[in-house]
Structure 1
Amino acid sequence: MNGDSNHCAITVAAESGRSWSYRIQSRFWETPTLLKPSAGTYSCYIFRVPKSRVDSNDNAYKPRIVSIGPYHHGQERLKLIEQHKPRVFSTMLNRSIGRVGPIDYFNAIASWETDIRESYSETLDWKTSDLIEMMILDACFIVELFHANRRVTPSDDDNPLFYTPRIVSSLMVDLLMIENQIPFFVLQEIYTLSKSPSDADCSLHDIALEFFNSALRLPEKDLQRYNRVPNITHLLDLFRLCLVGEFKPEEPPRVDKELLQLMPSTNQLLLEGIKFKQANSKNLKDIKFDHGVLQIPSLTIDHFTGSFLLNCVAYEQGYRYCSSHISSYVILMRCLMSTAEDVAVLSQCRIITNFLGTDKEVVRFFRDVAKDILFNIKSSYLAEIFGQVTHYRRNKWRLRWAGIKREYFGSPWTFISAAAGFTLLVLTIIQAFFTVYPYYRPKK
């Protein structure tokens, strides 16, 4: 009896095994859609932000007023701008009557369809005509917005989308979100087609950087340096380069492994004799440490730069073919700003200009941005800075001298007390000398 039961159980198990084997093998050929297999290639650079980062600051990755590209297309809250995009395209066509028509735009962008689909980490389940239409309308909207910023479209001066400050400021934030991008080559194609003779000497880089720079106010030389940089992936990448420079693979700096340590907070470094100074450059790569002085470029922290930094970090952490300089900078600032008192010191040194809120909110902001960053201190462009600061801090004589300066020269009153004490000591020694001297050298 037991033998029959065991035989039936083995038969059932064998059938279940064959059924499972068939099901699992049939799934071998299913293509993932949420993160397609080619998402890690050089040509894929527009992707969803990981949920762990979204949970920390959802508003930084979700467009508030305009949808660009497929990821947020059709959402109810973004319909206001969506309704205006065909009208904006019509304005562009009216300006180029006799030169190009709608079919020219369609054919130009359709020739890039494969490259467009490869740019996104998710499989785009869109018909060709719908995908090309979305790309054309989105790209035309962006190019016309840039033109309006330069006041080169006087016939459309009454457009409320391009000349209402509240809307324009929201557009600046939305157009630099990683999930709200279209490939830069699509923008370039539309700009080339719509370009008038008066724009012959003006590139897409020029008008894009001019538009966004009204928020960051970078020096003109920094903008001109990147107005012809090739291989731009999208608008977020273009403007990120203005802060960190073009990506060039470099040999990691040779620093003693024992010195590669993260920095303590600003106030702790002050106690150890390290001073802070605003660097002359706006490029975040230009951080220097020299003779106990840490020089850091100034940065204004507000809603725009906050969202921009968060999306730059998301881009750098997701696309391995670009530098991770913004991520390294964020780690440094997270180390330096542990408390509101640290923020206050950096604000006094004009390294941080806080328009975000209280100093505590700045601390919380950098804590959120630094969350889940994969940071390799050895390959970071700041590795040498970390090593130099650690080496400086380990010098015991410097630490003792820093303690003496803090204790006796930290304020005018302590300095006066120390000076008075020193003067009294000198006078006492002189008095003792003249008291004792006659005994050793009596007058003859």
Structure 2
Amino acid sequence: MSSASDLKFAGIKFVPNRPPTGEEFKISFNEYKCLSKIIYGARFVIPTLFLYESTEPFLRNLIAYDQCHPGVRRYFTSYANFMDTLISSDKDVHVLAKAGIIRNHLGTGEDATKFFNNLCKEVFLKESYNYFAETISVADHYSKAFWSDLMARLRHKYFASPWAFKAFVVGFVTFAIAAFKFITKTFHIHIPPYD
């Protein structure tokens, strides 16, 4: 799967989930349809994780519990693997922290990146046990689709600042007027004046 910063570039928003008790590790990907897809894009709903010094041993114990007991569902291992995949640099930590997914009390973004990248080292996870594999696949497919990539490039290039947006609008209006004049002259279309 692409990293958090790449997914954000593709127009995917990260939204913190306030789960009810028992669904602390529930992750969902919501894709809008039709016109809403152009306006809103898609959303990754992920529960907020508070990173303290005690978080690493706590999660490692939960992962060890997953790995040692064959009858246990591997939610914790799947969650740790998902977060490790999502975070590959400080930029990804910044994206998730800004969205409210990560509350970093470890120090710098580099510390949080190392935390996630070291969490799943030497941990075995079968594809059939990865509970977020389908969600990851849908999000990755969405981010690499032509329309998402095009909209991301437009947003990044033309809508990043108010001045860039104004320049884009002026350029688009100028192009539309020029195209309109060309069509009316080429096909000899007469438009009566408005009284």
TM tier, smaller: 0.7 to 0.9
Are residues 442 and 285 of structure 1, via their aligned partners in 2, closer, same or farther at CA, if it must alter by over 3 Å? closer
Greater strand proportion:
2
Structure 2 distance, partners of 1:313, 1:343, is 22
CA offset digits 1:2-39 (Å, max 9, x no partner):
xxxxxxxxxxxxxxxxxxxxxxxxxxxxxxxxxxxxxx
Match of 1:288 in 2: 28
Tell me: CA distance 1:441–1:306, structure 2 relative to 1, closer, same or farther (3 Å): closer
Amino acid at match of 1:350: G
User: How large is the Cα RMSD of the aligned pairs?
Assistant: 2.4
Structure 1 Cα separation of the partners of residues 76 and 93 of structure 2? 19
Secondary structure of 1:378's partner? helix
- Is 2:149 the counterpart of 1:418? no
Is 1:313–1:369's contact at 8 Å kept on the other side of the alignment?
no
Q: How does 1:358-377 map to 2 (within 5 A)?
A: 358-377=108-127
SS at match of 1:290: strand
Q: Does 1:400 align with 2:150?
A: yes
Aligned pair in 2 of structure 1 residues 340, 441: CA closer, same or farther (>3 Å)?
Answer: closer
Query: What residue number does 1:85 align with?
Result: none
Pick the aligned partner of 1:344 from 77, 94, 117: 94
Unpaired runs of at least 5, structure 1: 1-262
Match of 1:278 among 16, 20, 45: 16
For residues 52 and 89 of structure 2, what CA distance do their matches in structure 1 show?
Answer: 18
Q: Distance in 2 between matches of 1:355 and 1:285?
A: 20
| Pair 1:312-2:85 in alignment | no
* 1:101 matched residue in structure 2: none
* Pair 1:269 & 2:19 matched: no
Runs of 4+ in structure 1 displaced over 6 angstroms?
A: none
User: What is the CA–CA distance in structure 2 between the aligned matches of 1:423 and 1:290, rounded to whole Å?
Assistant: 34
Aligned with 1:293: secondary structure?
strand
Equivalent residues of 1:343, 1:362 under 8 A apart: yes
1:409–1:415 CA contact under 8 A, matched in 2: yes
1:132-147 alignment runs, 5 A limit: none
Aligned-residue offset at 1:440:
6.0
Does the 8 A contact of 1:316 with 1:322 survive in 2?
yes
Q: Choose from 113, 125, 136 the match for 1:386.
A: 136
| Alpha-carbon distance change, 378 to 391 in structure 1, aligned in 2, over 3 angstroms | farther
- CA shift in 2, pair 1:429/1:388, >3 Å: closer
CA 1:286–1:433: 2 relative to 1, 3 Å: same
| Distance in 1 between residues matched to 2:75 and 2:152, nearest whole Å | 32
TM-score, with length taken from structure 2: 0.81
CA 1:390 to 1:441, structure 2 compared with 1: closer, same or farther past 3 Å? closer
Deviation at 1:433, TM superposition (A): 6.5
The superposition leaves residues 160-197 of structure 1 with CA deviations (integer Å, 9 ceiling, x where unpaired) of xxxxxxxxxxxxxxxxxxxxxxxxxxxxxxxxxxxxxx
| Offset from partner CA, 1:67-111 (integer Å, 9 cap, x none) | xxxxxxxxxxxxxxxxxxxxxxxxxxxxxxxxxxxxxxxxxxxxx
Matched residues in 2 for 1:383 and 1:334: separation? 13
Which amino acid counterpart does residue 2 of structure 2 have in structure 1?
P
Percent identity among equivalent residues?
Answer: 29
Per-residue deviation, 1:416: 1.3
Query: What 5-or-longer segments of structure 2 have no aligned partner?
Result: 32-41
* Superposed displacement of residue 378, structure 1: 2.5
Q: TM-score, normalised by structure 1?
A: 0.37
Q: Which has the larger radius of gyration?
A: 1
Contact 1:284 1:329 in 2 (8 A): no
Structure 2 distance, partners of 1:345, 1:412, is 21
Query: What SS does structure 2 have at the residue aligned with 1:320?
Result: coil
